[in-house]
Amino acid sequence: MVGNNKRLTSKARKILRARSHLLSPVVWIGKEGVDKVINEVKRQIKDKGLIKVKIRRVALEKDTREDIARKLALETDAEIVSLVGNVITLFRPREGWKKYTSKKSKKSKYIKEFENLKFAKKFKGS
C-alpha cells in the first residue's frame, strides 16, 4: 500500500474499503494539481470522515498517482485506505486519531468505532 498506512490495522482498512464501495468521488484533481484542492479535501474529510478523490489524466502528467495520494494523505492527516485506478479513498476519523493509535486498544474496539461512524447508518438497514 502507498503512503503512511501505519495507523489502521488491515482489518480496519478492509472494513473501510467495503464501506467506500457505495461512495462517489467528491473531489477531482485536474490540471491545477494537488495544491489547488487541498483545502477542499480537508473540508470534505472533516465533514464525512471517508471520501473518494478522483485523479484526472491531466493531473497525471505532473505526478504519479502514488505521489498524489501520498501528498494528500500527508497534507490532510488522513490515511490512504485504497488506491484503485485513478481513485483514492482517504479516511480520517472526525474525533481524532487518539482512539485508533493507543497501544491498549483491541481489534474489536476498532470495529465498534467504525460501526458508530456517521455513514455506518446506511449499512445497518435504517
Confidence of residue 2 (pLDDT cuts 50, 70, 90): low
Task: Supply the DSSP symbol for 7.
Answer: S
Query: Which region, left, alpha or beta, applies to residue 96 given φ > 0 means left and ψ of -120 to 50 means alpha?
Result: left
15 in Cβ contact with 89 (< 8 Å): no
Q: Identify the CATH class of 10-124.
A: alpha beta
- At residue 95 the predicted structure's pLDDT band, cuts being 50, 70 and 90, is confident
Q: What is the pTM of this model?
A: 0.73
21-50 burial code (b ≥16 CB/10 A, e <16): eeeeebbebeeebbeebeeebbebbeebbb
Check pLDDT > 70 for residue 112. Answer: no
| 96 or 12: which leads in pLDDT | 12
SS3 45: helix
pLDDT band at 97 (very low <50, low <70, confident <90, very high): low
Ranges of each domain in the chain: 10-124
